Structure 1
Amino acid sequence: MLCLKWFNTSLIVKTKKLLGYEQLEGPIMNMPDLVMRKIMENVDFITMLKLRKVCHAFRNFIDETKLDNDLVQVNINVRPSAIYATIYFNSQYEQSVNFYYIRYGNNCLLKVTEGGNEEAKFIKNLDPADAFFNDFGVILRNQSKPLENMKIEKWSYDWYTGEHYDLDVINSLQASSSIYGWCTSSRPLEDFYEIHDHLSKINDKYAMQPIADKFHDCFDCILKSRESLIPIQTLEIEVSRPSYFLNMVRLIDVKQLEGIVISKAYEKKNEEDGKQLDLNEIVELDVFKYIQKLNISDFKVSVPLETFLHIPNLRVSVSTITIEDILLIKKNMITSPTARSRRVYYDHIKDEDTITNTLGHANPDNIKLHWYFKLPESDQTLQISKENYDSCFSFTWTKTVWIPKYAVVY
């Protein structure tokens, strides 16, 4: 059952007539807290959102008691003029709800889909970021169980498809465009290209006010308003500035955080703040004591590689890798019982001509050089590979029987 009508945003235009409700605080709210908790334990997350809109007493009870739900994953896609989000319930990801917030001048188009059902509305004088956090604030503030995954993507351009909006809502706005001062055609829009062009033109003058900056500021404010750090097991975040990640990771329960995946969002122009990922402050926090996976793409880390070698699965980029770095990682892989894989991208190799003398004979294939180091009394062999086209060294474990017969193994 759709949760759209129970959200905080005011309804201006809608595709379906939604049932009204009275702000009554009936006898149910006179029940003891223990009874109320038992009742709430047997309702799903969508119903919980509905109950928040029944009366102030319900809203206060739900917010103050931080009731559990089956939410396991949140995917958020931030664009210059839109925010798209999908939330998943239960570990099988069988139930999901999609939210689409699109800027429409100074206003917002909202569409929500759940299964085969959908609702849409036009929200006047509210931009997509504010509309999004009006709705998602309750989710982020009240989440008590660990989220399996929180994924935040950032796109540098807008792309509107039929799943993102409701055609009837847009055409109803076309008919009343004089109210809002837009110069649009009175003929109803029909195909994808017309609608995409229409939305692009309306939002063109707001292109210098991208949503991303406001999104991250609001997101951090919501997390700061929690009574405790938000529990997330895996954080995947795509950002244009390292500061977005650094600010957010401080607000996550590090004892729950198992994996971090950071990548640089594509930008039409390079930003100075996006070239180097300075983790000097963060590595001193407990977050790096617990995580099992760290994947940093496109940003280059500025702290020594040895800082990360306690992490079982590691992928990072550096400006320069040295022979000493390679030997250090090799030793770590062989001696650490938890080390599983390392992948290091680089721009330059210091003293590259000494690699063969240091690691020994290289076993070539079409695009890589390989070195093999067998563990005594084990069927496992450490494989070090130098990729010629990606400027990358990888360190992985492989079974000895999988190594080519002609290869030199140390």
Structure 2
Amino acid sequence: MVFTTIFFSLGCSPREEENEEISLMTMPDLVMTKILDDVDFKDIIKLRKVCRGLRNSIDHLRPYKLTGLNLDFRPSRIHIILSTHNGSEIELDYAKYGDHCVISTRGNENHPKLIRNTDYMEVFENDISGLLRNQKSLLKCVKIQGWPWNAFYSPLTDGVVVEEDSDSDSDSKMEKWKKWILEYFGTVGIRSPSLEYSGVRLFYQLEKMNKGDVLTPAVIDRFFNSLARILQNLPTRIQMTELNIRLLKESHLANLPIDFSHMDTLIINRIHLKSPTSDERFRSTKRTMNVVTKLKNWERIRQLDVVGFKVSVPIRNFLAHKSIMELSVPSISVDDIVAMKEVSQCLGSELQ
């Protein structure tokens, strides 16, 4: 980006002009708005990293006009895909590196950056808070997915898979995979005096350092608490037409300040924990999702899928509002069966 500045001086000596320092922070809002209008979303992400003052100015002047948000969280990593109004996407990675945080942005020429002595989830919370603060338009789709295992490559690998076999082409598969990792992390990797790893070495370092991390109920609670704080600090409640969320318990959904008045589809899945200890602890808790009927404007949701949880609320409470529904119920009453039959007759089809 090249900025050309023209000054008209009245009663000001040339020496005074030469000594005057020019920066983005001293420019009028009109000039800053024009600059921000001419840069894409990736450049906005870069500018926000310059300093706190510039970040606050950008957040105040430039709504990001996001259309989609995908949050993929794992034991030691959070992967984000942001979709913008012009059809472009940008991917952000926040990974734990010991007591530090590694940030990687896919889709530009940036190399991964190391933020020392900072928790990766804190960096994620600060960044996403700024990106969503001025989000005024309706989001089309929001996905919040939790997975029990670590993966330090993007889930969008276009079929590049590492397989442990003895086929003759296994070496070529590995080389193709390594090449993709290099492209993803950058050919140099982390630029730091004490950390000069290539992309592949960075990948193996992350795998090695976080090998023992598993997705526990405490980690999941911490992520959803962080997400709740992000949404609570927004000027208005976030709105979307579709929410696809993978969680552990109903309070994770209940504590998120979301405006359901425009939501058409709500899909809820349960996270299956990998740790036996975590699974045992989870089995001792109630796996219900009755909170759905307590959400404000939940009646507006046309399609409701609840997978991995039981709903003990009478089925007839849903039939008047939902045209597509998938629920698991512990039992069904005669009144529910009669209500389902009446609805199917009105729709001209049979419920299954």
TM-score in same-fold range (> 0.5): yes
Deviation at residue 284 of structure 1 after TM alignment = 3.9
Q: Compared with structure 1, are the counterparts of its residues 85 and 324 closer, same or farther at alpha carbon in structure 2 (3 Å cutoff)?
A: same
8 Å contact kept, 1:242–1:274 = no
8 Å contact kept, 2:68–2:140 = yes
The corresponding residue for 2:85 is: 90
Unaligned runs of at least 5 residues, structure 1: 2-20, 178-185, 337-374, 376-381, 385-393, 395-410
Q: Compared with structure 1, are the counterparts of its residues 166 and 274 closer, same or farther at alpha carbon in structure 2 (3 Å cutoff)?
A: farther
Q: State the structure with more CA Rg.
A: 1
Report 1:3-22 matches (<5 A): none
Q: Compared with structure 1, are the counterparts of its residues 261 and 43 closer, same or farther at alpha carbon in structure 2 (3 Å cutoff)?
A: same
Match among 76, 82, 102 for residue 71 of structure 2? 76
Deviation at residue 79 of structure 1 after TM alignment = 0.4
CA distance in 2, matches of 1:190, 1:59: 29
The corresponding residue for 2:170 is: none
Deviation at residue 46 of structure 1 after TM alignment = 3.6
Deviation per CA, 1:83-118, whole angstroms, max 9, x where unpaired?
111111237x4x111112221111122211116x44
Matched, 1:259 2:277: no
Q: How many residues are paired up?
A: 297
Aligned partner letter, 2:140: E
Q: Secondary structure at the match of 2:261?
A: coil
Report 1:128-139 matches (<5 A): 128-139=120-131
Matched, 1:121 2:113: yes
Unaligned runs of at least 5 residues, structure 2: 2-20, 154-180
TM-score if structure 2 supplies the norm length? 0.72
The corresponding residue for 2:133 is: 141
Q: Compared with structure 1, are the counterparts of its residues 215 and 39 closer, same or farther at alpha carbon in structure 2 (3 Å cutoff)?
A: same
Matched, 1:299 2:309: yes
The corresponding residue for 1:229 is: 237
8 Å contact kept, 1:100–1:164 = no
The corresponding residue for 1:169 is: 189
Match among 265, 275, 293 for residue 287 of structure 2? 275
Higher helix proportion (structure 1 or 2): 2
Give the RMSD, CA atoms, in angstroms.
3.4
Q: Compared with structure 1, are the counterparts of its residues 119 and 55 closer, same or farther at alpha carbon in structure 2 (3 Å cutoff)?
A: closer
Report 1:206-355 matches (<5 A): 207=214, 211-248=219-256, 251-268=257-274, 269-270=279-280, 271=282, 272-273=284-285, 275-279=287-291, 282-309=292-319, 310-335=321-346
CA distance in 1, matches of 2:24, 2:200: 45
CA distance in 1, matches of 2:246, 2:47: 34
CA distance in 2, matches of 1:59, 1:199: 29
Deviation at residue 133 of structure 1 after TM alignment = 1.7
TM-score if structure 1 supplies the norm length? 0.63
The corresponding residue for 2:6 is: none
Q: Secondary structure at the match of 1:331?
A: helix
CA distance in 2, matches of 1:106, 1:190: 20
Percent identity between the two aligned chains = 27
Aligned partner letter, 2:246: E
Q: Secondary structure at the match of 1:245?
A: helix
Deviation per CA, 1:285-329, whole angstroms, max 9, x where unpaired?
432121121111111112111111112221111112345423321
Report 1:31-46 matches (<5 A): 31=30, 44-46=40-42
Matched, 1:160 2:152: yes
Q: Secondary structure at the match of 1:83?
A: strand
Matched, 1:99 2:92: yes
Q: Secondary structure at the match of 1:99?
A: strand
8 Å contact kept, 2:184–2:199 = no
Q: Secondary structure at the match of 2:255?
A: helix
8 Å contact kept, 1:108–1:128 = yes
The corresponding residue for 1:12 is: none
CA distance in 2, matches of 1:312, 1:208: 35
Q: Compared with structure 1, are the counterparts of its residues 69 and 204 closer, same or farther at alpha carbon in structure 2 (3 Å cutoff)?
A: closer
CA distance in 1, matches of 2:199, 2:237: 47
Q: Compared with structure 1, are the counterparts of its residues 60 and 129 closer, same or farther at alpha carbon in structure 2 (3 Å cutoff)?
A: closer
Aligned partner letter, 2:189: V
Q: Compared with structure 1, are the counterparts of its residues 82 and 61 closer, same or farther at alpha carbon in structure 2 (3 Å cutoff)?
A: closer
Identify which of structures 1 and 2 has the higher relative contact order when contacts are C-alpha pairs closer than 8 Å and 6+ apart: 2
CA distance in 2, matches of 1:262, 1:135: 26
